[in-house]
Structure 1
Amino acid sequence: MLKSHYYEGMIEAGCDEAGRGCLAGSVYAAAVIFPADYQNAELNDSKQLTDKRRKQLREIIERDAIAWAVGIVTPEEIDKINILNASILAMHRALDQLKVRPEAIIIDGNRFKPYYDSGEGLEVRDERKPLPHTTIVKGDGKFLSIAAASILAKTYRDDYMDCLAEEYPQYDWLSNKGYPTKKHREAISQYGITPYHRKTFNLLGDGQLSFDF
């Protein structure tokens, strides 16, 4: 059973992202706040669940959460600020949209930047103190709110990539969701890149930028 909270007696938001390792598409992140005593034995790291089960759980999460939101950072922004900063910015954007304001944050992974609850993303902050936050390696398999955030980020990003696949079917995004599969890279080699590809990524897997941008 995953834990319901990390911080005692505080309104706590769990955050996770999806699409960080992709060659194409936006990076998505979600933030979820559950009731303090919330329990759900079905919640787990999104990577451990089938697509059908993730979609079923998304409905349950959205019903049961006190607040939830999804943040998005585009491929153009990723190329400007790098994928680590983009992933954190997506989490900040999700936190900005929560209808209930968190008092603390737990994050999957080991990297984060202070969040000041001012709706300014990663922009310059004022003198207020940031919200308490804790990064937790493999947190999506340890805490309910992070697991829920991983499911929301994954399913909303998958829906987005499915829409892009209709526009560019040759890249097999219905199956690979933008990740660097052999078929995806072969399509890049044959057809070139789309407006959704991340130009600063090693698109052909040869250790270098493969196109004259």
Structure 2
Amino acid sequence: MAWEVLSAIGTIAFAVSGAIIAMEEEYDIFGVYLLGVVTAFGGGAIRNLLIGVPVSALWEQEMMFQLALASITLAFLFPNRLLGPWNRWGNFFDAIGLSAFAIQGALYAVDLNMPVYAVVVAAVLTGSGGGMVRDLLAGRKPLVLRAEIYAVWAAIAGILISFDMIQTDLILYGLFICITTLRVLSYLYKWRLPTRKIHSV
């Protein structure tokens, strides 16, 4: 049950995210749907490629595709009503998507008896892969590589799940709330990882 709920939350959050960015870039209706779907399922596709699961497994998620398409449709039909709340809450929904998909990706890898590093990679790619593809298609620098601490929270979720520290659905929901909260705090307070600039001579 936790898996399905987290998948639904992440799918809706990222599909709306992709649709909003497509409309900000003035894409046509096809572009809006394409970017919304890619954002919602891109991370899962990349994860499957890297851990050896057929990408075709994504097409078995009929309900998730319906949720994504319905979310994109609502965003396209009512952009003005959605844009105001999105400007206020967009980062929050993105945090929800990151947390939900990171946990889902880690659980997926653990279910396949993958080693710890593979679980962490699956968590990071599922949580942030769709957003990276979205930003690249929209001609933007990927959020995960330039802004506040982002993918680190997904990696932490992967580590905790890989060491079998999550035993029940209740603890899983608690982890989801913690990762979401940490991501929200990181953009509110501008927490960043150290950077190094190279100055050309």
More helix as a share of residues: 2
Larger Rg, first or second structure (1 or 2): 1
TM-score of the alignment, normalized to the shorter chain, above 0.5: no
TM-score (norm 1): 0.27
More strand as a share of residues: 1
TM-score (norm 2): 0.28
